[in-house]
Structure 1
Amino acid sequence: MAQENSEFQFGGIHHLALVSSDMQRTVDFYSGVLGMPLVKTIELPRGMGQHFFFDCGGGDTIAFFWFPDAPDGVPGVSAPAALPGEGEIVSAVGSMNHVAFTVPPGEFERYYVRMQEKGVDVSPILDHDDSPAGSSRVLHPGVYVRSFYFRDPDGAMLEFACWLRAFTPADVAHPARTGAERAGV
């Protein structure tokens, strides 16, 4: 999958920081349900809150802030209102739409069942392809990634995903859209 970056040498995502309404509940979900080790905790100065880091594999972390005065999230604005395949997935500009965790292709279906056994409400499996619909409910040779989606306790959309093939130059075939093309702009 890797292509060379001629500008900077990146090693992946150091961390992605989200906001939690209840840090204990976040620890229970990310460490207890997903099994991610809690690797660093910080009490922010002047009573601003907390910042906790979980190891999500490959040397990367997912982090959470807890702020005592943070406003509640708004479905459809701060995060999608529904899971893919189940409804509207649009979220606001500048929001985090979802976080996808890489899982091994050979474990993908077992992880899907395991999440359900843990009581997590998961979307149907989506086999992403280049069809007009963008995905199929059937695995076929044109599928480039398999995934399923679920939410954390604060409603952040998460995904387990596995690549099934390497990309080629033919996979970059669409012109980038502009802000002027957005509805209502």
Structure 2
Amino acid sequence: MFRGIHHIALICNDYPRSKAFYTELLGLRILAETWRAERQSWKLDLEVPGGGRLELFSFPDAPPRPSHPEARGLRHLAFAVEDVRAAADRLTGLGIAVEPIRRDALTDRLFTFFADPDGLPLELYEL
């Protein structure tokens, strides 16, 4: 039945800031950008390497997402990388705070977390 994940939708507070974060800093390619006047909202379709998409929305007056302590729902979004240390160093060099690198006790893989401009937890997970 399922063939994969098609997209993940994110709602941001500051559209230009989030667009720059995901495209300029993280390097995701823009597939489409649409202004939806009836909703006073931008929709940005971004290509995730390896398949799938991120949809970035800018709904006006969206409430903040509870994150800390952990809340129900989407916990975080993980990006697969070849080298966690190199990816973390790149983000740090761009001024993005990255947590210390840890080792997954179940898989023995390296991972770390950082956050997008709205505080959504993002993970780097080594293949």
* TM-score, scaled to structure 2: 0.89
Q: Which amino acid aligns with 1:148?
A: T
Do the aligned partners of 2:116 and 2:122 also contact (CA within 8 Å) in 1? yes
Which residue pairs with 1:125 in the alignment?
Answer: 101
**Pair 1:42 & 2:29 matched:** no
Which residue pairs with 1:19 in the alignment?
Answer: 11
- Where structure 2 has 5 or more consecutive residues not aligned to the other structure, the ranges are none
Which residue pairs with 2:63 in the alignment?
Answer: 71
Tell me, in whole angstroms, the C-alpha distance in 1 between the residues paired with 2:30 and 2:117.
17
Within 5 A, what are the aligned runs for 1:23-172? Answer: 23-73=15-65, 78-79=66-67, 81=68, 90-93=69-72, 95-104=73-82, 107-130=83-106, 143=108, 145-163=109-127
Say what the alpha-carbon RMSD is for the aligned residues: 1.6
Q: Which amino acid aligns with 2:25?
A: V
Tell me, in whole angstroms, the C-alpha distance in 1 between the residues paired with 2:104 and 2:36.
41
The alignment of Structure 1 onto Structure 2 pairs a total of residues equal to 127
Q: Which amino acid aligns with 1:149?
A: F
In the TM superposition, structure 1's runs of 4+ consecutive aligned residues that sit over 4 Å from their partners are: none
Residue 48 of structure 2: SS of its match in structure 1? strand
Of Structure 1 and Structure 2, the greater strand share is in 2
Tell me, in whole angstroms, the C-alpha distance in 2 between the residues paired with 1:30 and 1:17.
13
> What percent of counterpart residues are identical?
29
Do the aligned partners of 1:27 and 1:38 also contact (CA within 8 Å) in 2? no
Offset of 1:151 from its aligned partner? Answer: 0.4
CA-to-partner distance for each residue in 1:47-67, whole Å, 9 max, x for gaps? 341211111211211111111
Higher RCO, Cα 8 Å, sep 6+: 2
Q: Which has the larger displacement, 21-30 or 47-56?
A: 47-56
Q: Which amino acid aligns with 1:39?
A: L
